[in-house]
């Protein structure tokens, strides 16, 4: 009877003890994610680059053992900043970005990233590989990350066409946005 009780205690402890890896929650209030979209084309001097704020909804990071990161953004909350243009132009860019021509955020409200493999590249530096889900499609991406001043910082470049988005083009293509979009981030974790 004592052996059975000991076995039951061991089994109970095994299944109720949390794993040694613990996920830390992303501090969304102190994290930032900016998207930069650049102009191109014959008459690109008449267009402008776009700066977009993408507030994080949620995320988790495992910093030891089996390293991982998972982030979620609500596509409907992306905000065009474009400080060099007036509010009317900004509103028009915002509407185009949210609409069916680009993000189609009504049908695809969630943007997600989930890491698959994270490799150390020196002290406080890593290469992260994973899947980005955007515009209803999921594709692999990779980028470098560095920890500095308690923020995980990095940039990633993605191609809009990889996710079924045709870059916006006006005036017969003489002014358009580049296919490559640059994503800059600073991720803070809660204590």
Domain edges within the chain: 20-187
pLDDT value for 82: 86
Alpha helices (H) along the chain: 2-16, 87-98
pLDDT value for 170: 61
From CA 1, how far away is CA 44, in angstroms rounded?
A: 82
How is residue 23 written in tokens? 């996920």
Phi, psi angles (nearest 5°) of residue 13? -65, -40
Q: Answer yes or no: are the C-beta atoms of 121 and 145 closer than 8 Å.
A: no
In this predicted model, what pLDDT tens digit does every residue of 36-55 receive, in sequence order?
988 764 444 445 788 999 99
- Is CATH 3.90.1150.10 the classification given to domain 20-187? no
Tens of each residue's pLDDT in the chain, 191 residues: 443 333 333 433 333 334 445 899 999 999 999 999 887 644 444 457 889 999 999 999 999 999 999 999 999 999 999 888 889 988 988 998 999 989 999 999 999 999 999 999 999 999 999 999 999 999 999 999 999 999 999 999 999 999 999 887 664 444 467 889 999 999 999 98
Task: Provide the whole-model pTM.
Answer: 0.81
SS3 assignment, position 93: helix
Tell me the CB-side half-sphere exposure of residue 130, using CA atoms within 13 A.
22
pLDDT value for 10: 40
Which of these, 68, 50, 67, lies nearest to 59 by C-alpha position? 68
CA dist list (Å): 17 to 11, 13, 22, 114, 165: 10, 6, 12, 25, 45
- Residue 75, number of CB atoms within 10 A of its CB: 21
């Amino acid at each position: 009877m004592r052996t059975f009780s000991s076995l039951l205690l061991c089994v109970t402890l095994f299944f109720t003890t949390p794993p040694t890896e613990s996920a830390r929650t992303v501090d969304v209030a102190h994290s930032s994610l900016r998207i930069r979209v650049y102009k191109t084309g014959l008459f690109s001097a008449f267009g402008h680059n776009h700066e977009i704020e993408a507030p994080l909804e949620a995320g988790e990071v495992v910093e030891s053992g089996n390293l991982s990161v998972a982030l979620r953004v609500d596509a409907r909350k992306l905000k065009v900043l474009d400080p060099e243009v007036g509010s009317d132009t900004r509103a028009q860019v915002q509407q185009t970005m949210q609409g069916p021509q680009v993000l189609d955020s009504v049908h695809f409200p969630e943007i997600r990233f989930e890491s698959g493999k994270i490799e150390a590249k020196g002290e406080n530096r890593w290469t992260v590989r994973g899947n980005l889900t955007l515009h209803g499609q999921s594709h692999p991406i990779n980028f470098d990350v560095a920890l500095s001043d308690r923020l995980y910082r990095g940039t990633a470049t993605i191609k809009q066409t990889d996710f079924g988005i045709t870059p916006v083009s006006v005036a017969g293509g003489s002014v358009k946005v580049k296919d490559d979009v640059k994503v800059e981030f600073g991720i803070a974790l809660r204590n």
